[in-house]
Amino acid sequence: MSKKNSFRLQPVLNYKTSLVDNLETEFAQLRALQKNEEEALAHLEEMVLAQTASLKHQQETGVINCTTIELHQKYLQFLHNHVERQKVRVAEARMQAEAKREELVKTMQDQKTLEKLKDRHRARELTELNRREARVVDDLVITRYAREGYSHA
């Protein structure tokens, strides 16, 4: 092998490797954000169900005035609006995570391609090295044979 790092695309492979590492970190952060947003949405939906059940229970017990009903309904409307905003945030987080995942997959494919090229390059260098060694051995054998042949004659 002529040089230790004779693979010309090694800097590109190094860059792709570091890019994959960074993208994996970013993707993990986006997935965590998405999970947090989904948990917040689930919590809000639980609050809506609890508030609805509370209002229904108070109506069934019989003693409830219009002001209380109106306050419950306003609070429920506030919660519904908050749920809708949270659904938008969940969708945005999901889209960001999916976009980062696609970018990560493409970069990983590029990295794998470069690694395959590097492996082929190493195989070619090894084949060339073996050929050179075989030529040297052949030359040594021919030289030895010639010396021994001349000395017997």
Is 25 inside a domain boundary? yes
> Tens digits of per-residue pLDDT, 132-145?
999 999 888 888 88
Tokens of 121: 């390059």
How many Å apart are CA 106 and CA 94, to the nearest integer?
Answer: 18
Amino acid symbol at 62: G
Is 5 inside a domain boundary? no
State the CATH number of the domain containing residue 25: 1.10.287
How many Å apart are CA 58 and CA 62, to the nearest integer?
Answer: 7
- Tens of pLDDT, residue by residue, the chain (153 residues): 445 668 899 999 999 999 999 999 999 999 999 999 999 999 999 999 999 998 888 888 877 788 888 898 999 999 999 999 999 999 999 999 999 999 999 999 999 999 999 999 999 999 999 999 999 998 888 888 888 776 655
83: containing domain? 10-118
pTM (two decimals): 0.73
CA 114 to chain centre: 18
